[in-house]
Amino acid sequence: MTVTQEVHFAHHLAANEKVTRDRALRKLTRWIRAKSAREDTEFTEESLMKLWKGLFFCMWMSDKPFVQQDLANNIAGLIHCFAQRSQALLFIDTFFKTMAHEWFAIDRFRLEKFMMLVRRFFRQGLVLAYAGEWKDENIVEFCDTLKATALHPSRGDVPLGLKMHVVDIFLQELSRVHGGKLTSEQADLFLQPFFDILTDSPAGTLVEFVRNNVFFLMIDLDREAVELEQEGEVPNLDEEGEEKDSDEEEDTYDEHGRVMEKGESSQDLPAIPFDYERIANKLFECTKRHALKPANRLVITRLVKKYRSILQEGLLKPPPPDDDQGDIITDKEILV
């Protein structure tokens, strides 16, 4: 039986020796570029799943922090080796399918490096969606890929932990990538997978996590940005205009629990231009769905009240002590 090239790569990517794995990854990079440039060849889901099996175990075998970081960056960079956007999107799709399939097999000692891989890969997915300028169709294609896998509201074969990790990194990674060139309409397009989770997910834990780590967190981050602007604070720069490097070698965390990479602070992440009025209207439209479960309706209704309150009173109004208990929702509102 002839061994396919994908199986050959997977075998060497999962080798015990780091030298063999590194050589296989370099060859794979060149092979993807060459194959994707040919018009008479096409990548299939089956072939990419075989490659991802090898790439998964390539990450599994890496055992030093800096080696893991470099490997995660190199694997994520494979997204940009594909000549066609459809091929790159299929590569993203099969990555999340592989992670969903293998997630429960990852022990607690290896979980952190695979979470880092998901973060770096998600970041490069956003870079692919950008491709030099933000276009609505590219954003929609990327979000549709996420909605089919990592951010599907109800798929039982996608572990809750993987979904929550993608939700957790969304705002920070979009802040890192958008570069101030994202319009409010385009920023709101990125929220569609999260609207779908709020309305369609039967998992109350996931619904509340999206509420807290997307819709509430964006308010907190925007409020913080406004406060910093009023106080006149700017990023820590040296005399040549370059950001001062931190002496720490490991990632740190800001007050919102976001991972700050070496030399990075929360001030370095530009605000995302979400349109609160458009979000509030979209959330209100979601409450009109007849099939909406009461628990989901309650969460969405409270979000509507929160966003409308901000629109009326501004971001810098002191938040109530407890958002959940502070908003009194009547039975009529829940049953709209």
Name the residue among 12, 8, 35 with its Cα closest to residue 22: 12
Give the distance, in angstroms, between the CA of residue 326 and the centroid of all CA atoms in the same chain.
Answer: 30
Work out the end-to-end distance of the chain between its first and last CA atoms, rounded to an integer number of angstroms: 62
pLDDT at 249: 47
Positive or negative: CA dihedral 274, 276, 277, 281: positive
Six-digit token string for 258: 């976001």
Q: Which residue is listed with tokens 């009326």?
A: 312
- CA pair distance 271, 218, nearest whole angstrom: 9
| Coil vs helix vs strand at 260 | strand
The neighbouring-strand residues paired with 237 are: 243
pLDDT in tens, the chain (336 residues): 345 899 999 999 999 999 999 999 999 999 999 999 998 888 999 999 999 999 999 999 998 999 999 999 999 999 999 999 999 999 999 999 999 999 999 999 999 999 999 999 999 999 999 998 999 999 999 999 999 999 999 999 999 999 999 999 999 999 999 989 999 999 999 999 999 999 999 999 999 999 999 999 999 999 888 887 777 665 443 433 344 444 444 566 555 555 656 655 555 678 999 999 999 999 999 999 989 999 999 999 999 999 999 999 887 655 555 555 445 455 455 444
Six-digit token string for 84: 């066609």
pLDDT at 91: 98
> Are 58 and 75 spatial neighbours (Cβ–Cβ below 8 Å)?
yes
pLDDT at 227: 82
Q: What dihedral do alpha carbons 55, 60, 64, 67 form, nearest 10°?
A: 0
pTM equals: 0.86
Domain definitions of the chain by residue range: 1-109, 131-228+260-335
Count of CB atoms situated within 10 Å of the CB of 14: 19
pLDDT at 248: 40
If residue 96 lies in a helix (H) or strand (E), which one and from where to where?
Answer: helix 85-102
The angle formed by the CA atoms of residues 207, 211 and 213, to the nearest 5 degrees, is 110
> Are 120 and 176 spatial neighbours (Cβ–Cβ below 8 Å)?
no
Name the residue among 74, 66, 269 with its Cα closest to residue 173: 269
Residue 21 backbone phi and psi in degrees, to 5: -65, -45
- Fill in the amino acid letter for 265: S
pLDDT at 231: 75
- Fill in the amino acid letter for 325: Q
